[in-house]
Amino acid sequence: MGIIYIGQLYYIQVYDASYKFSADSNTQRIITQYPSRGLVFDRNGRLVISNQPVYDIMIVPRDLEPFDTLDFCHLIGITLPNLRNLFSDMRRDIKSRKISSYKPSVFIKQVSAERYGQFQEKLIKFPGFFTQRRTLRKYEYPNAAHVLGYISEVTENMIDRDPYYISGDYSGFSGLELSYEQELRGKKGAKVILVDVHGREKGSYRQGRYDTTAVVGKNIYITLDMELQQYAELLMVNKIGSIVAIEPETGEVLAMVSSPTYDPSLLVGRLRSSNYPILENNPLKPLFNRPLQAMYPPGSTFKTLQALIGLQEGVININTRFGCSMGYHAGGLTVGCHSHASPLDLLQSIQQSCNGYYCNVFRTILDNPKYKSSHDGLDVWKNYLVKFGLGYKLGIDFFNEKRGLIPNSDYYNKIYNSSWNSLTVISLAIGQGELLVTPLQMANMSATIANDGYFYTPHIVKDIEDSQIPSQFKEKHETDIDTANYEIVKDGMELVVLSGTARVAQIEGITVCGKTGTAQNPHGKDHSIFIAFAPKDHPKIAISVYVENAGFGATYAAPIASLLIEKYLKREIDPKRKYLEDRLLSVDLIHNAPY
């Protein structure tokens, strides 16, 4: 008998920790101290994201005693069937060992401060329960949802990857909240308190000797101008598409709009579970981040790069002229064009957006005698485009960026069994065919032209408290095209706005350089595109606007870009241009599509 008692005592004290947990839970409780996430401010110091307090109702299953369930439901704001389901889930989790009967776990998440106060007053009536303070995000503007992102409860995979997290923790799931989770989340602390048999707190355990302090997350300043962001989203109401505006000399993103969008507050707290499926199932895809993930042909905006490559390769110069007879004709193939004077020189070709001119330019690049074949010429052509940030992920501080597509000779060799030439891929000349870019890449392309041949990787974060922004955002990326060639193309883009296809984009007192585009769309009306930068000398903003199913670039994309440039540089819209603003605000291209 003595051996049996000794063996049992040894087992209880050494191997079986349940009695220790039971004893500890009767006298002490470890409460996780969750830090407030870092605040987020825009480039001008406006508060964009703050925090609001909420409370989790915690439970220690072993300490439960019979209680008034109706009173409990009334205090917390749930129904009796909900409460029964919660207990059913708890029992299942105990059986599967997801939670312990002796340790606290979350029973009801994110109770408001008002209900917390009511519940705390009657806590003595509910043995086994206690409360734990948390914070939720509060979005100060109903804007920039795709940039800011949202937070949600961590998954088991996340817990496996990062031991910092435990079940019930929250983490950034998209946008800024995800990309800078490590900086924003801070560091959890813990407080050990004594409790009586009724679960009431009786003070710190050993004068707080074993407590650890939570470390608040770092504050972040983002590059967005929230006033410009709000105006951009307003102009895109009832339109499908995107806007990206960049400060050329730094690569800082001034505005980024994906339309249709949503209020980021819809995905905060307990409302998220009901709102997310609604947004996810919306046929207009408001959760889809178009600036980074949508891929479109660049259309005629691409002619600016064709001109630069042609100049650098020496196959054209500013005086080179090509004729256009309502398009480009070769054998039985025709690439149509609109009516304009002919022949045109280089500046006029940009001004009038001549398809015939750039079919000639493209073929002279690929069929240059210094290359063995048009296959080699295409690869040279592609290498120039890669230098502009096309065909790969630029590296913006988000995780869901698409790379687009710039085909090379191998791509067409697989399709045509190596039997193809420059005429086979002529649609690339005018930014069509297999060519695909993202709106972010188009804005970066515009910024590169504005800078006479270099860019900084576009980014959202401007400053991090007590830290440096990632070094890759300070690295200068050069193209292989001479500065003098950029001056020629910029002169042509200036003519586009002064007397060409985008006269609607003129702004009094500001020299705007732009290029319209109309991208073919096999599923409906063509897409309206416009890229621009301003002022011409020492540019402060470069922009791309993409409006789906909206027709010519000058119809919608160009006036939207023009108003945004004016808003950013002058901070207000000239009363003489209010008619343009009113037209854009009143049009509905979703419910009253013009096709």
Task: For residue range 301-346, list pLDDT tens digits in order.
Answer: 999 999 999 999 999 999 999 999 899 999 889 999 988 899 999 9
Q: 138 and 254, same structural domain?
A: no
Two structure tokens written together for 545: 């606007």
20 lies in some domain: no
The answer to whether residue 24 scores a pLDDT higher than 80 is: no
Q: Find the domain containing 127 and state its range.
A: 27-222
Higher pLDDT, 134 or 524: 134
The answer to whether residue 210 scores a pLDDT higher than 90 is: no
Q: What is the mean pLDDT of residues 418-432?
A: 95
Give one word for 575, left, alpha or beta, with left for phi > 0 and alpha for psi -120 to 50: alpha
List the CATH number of the domain containing 408.
3.40.710.10
482 lies in some domain: yes
Predicted local distance difference test score (pLDDT) of residue 595: 43
Predicted local distance difference test score (pLDDT) of residue 521: 74
Amino acid letter for position 284: L
Two structure tokens written together for 326: 């309502």
Predicted local distance difference test score (pLDDT) of residue 21: 46
List the CATH number of the domain containing 167.
3.90.1310.10
Q: 327 and 180, same structural domain?
A: no
Q: 486 and 413, same structural domain?
A: yes
Q: 256 and 211, same structural domain?
A: no
In the block, which residue shows the tokens 């883009």?
493
Q: 234 and 154, same structural domain?
A: no
Q: 522 and 378, same structural domain?
A: yes
Q: 223, 43 in Cβ contact below 8 A?
A: yes
The answer to whether residue 266 scores a pLDDT higher than 50 is: yes
Specify the long-range contacts of residues 495-502, CB closer than 8 Å, at least 24 apart: 495/347, 495/348, 495/350, 495/351, 496/350, 496/351, 496/353, 497/532, 499/351, 500/350, 500/351, 500/352, 500/353, 501/351, 501/352, 501/353, 501/552, 501/553, 501/554, 502/530, 502/532, 502/553, 502/554, 502/558
Q: 394 and 499, same structural domain?
A: yes
280 lies in some domain: no
Residues comprising the chain, all counted? 595
pLDDT band for position 17 (50/70/90)? low
Q: In 3-state terms, what secondary structure has residue 157? A: helix
Residue where a domain terminates, one of 171, 197, 222: 222
For residue range 443-499, list pLDDT tens digits in order.
999 999 999 999 999 999 999 999 999 999 999 999 989 999 999 999 999 999 999
Predicted local distance difference test score (pLDDT) of residue 594: 46
Q: 203 and 173, same structural domain?
A: yes
C-alpha–C-alpha distance, residues 337 and 358, integer Å: 11
Q: 147 and 235, same structural domain?
A: no
Range among 46-60, 91-105, 446-460 with highest mean pLDDT value:
446-460
Question: Helical H runs in 282-326?
Answer: 290-293, 303-313
Residue where a domain terminates, one of 222, 242, 275: 222
In our burial notation (b when 16+ CB lie closer than 10 A, e otherwise), range 42-67 reads: bbeeeebbebeebbbbbbbbbbeeee
For residue range 548-584, list pLDDT tens digits in order.
998 889 999 999 999 999 999 999 999 999 999 999 9
307 lies in some domain: yes
C-alpha–C-alpha distance, residues 548 and 520, integer Å: 10
274 lies in some domain: no
| Total domains in the fold of the chain | 2
Residue where a domain terminates, one of 197, 222, 247: 222
215 lies in some domain: yes
Q: What is the mean pLDDT of the chain?
A: 91
C-alpha–C-alpha distance, residues 311 and 430, integer Å: 17
Exposed/middle/buried for residue 124 (C-beta within 10 Å: 0-12, 13-18, 19+): exposed
Q: 336 and 411, same structural domain?
A: yes
> Strand locations in 176-297, DSSP E?
189-195, 201-204, 220-222, 241-247, 252-259
Q: 567 and 504, same structural domain?
A: yes
Q: 521, 549 in Cβ contact below 8 A?
A: yes
595 lies in some domain: no
Q: In 3-state terms, what secondary structure has residue 505? A: helix
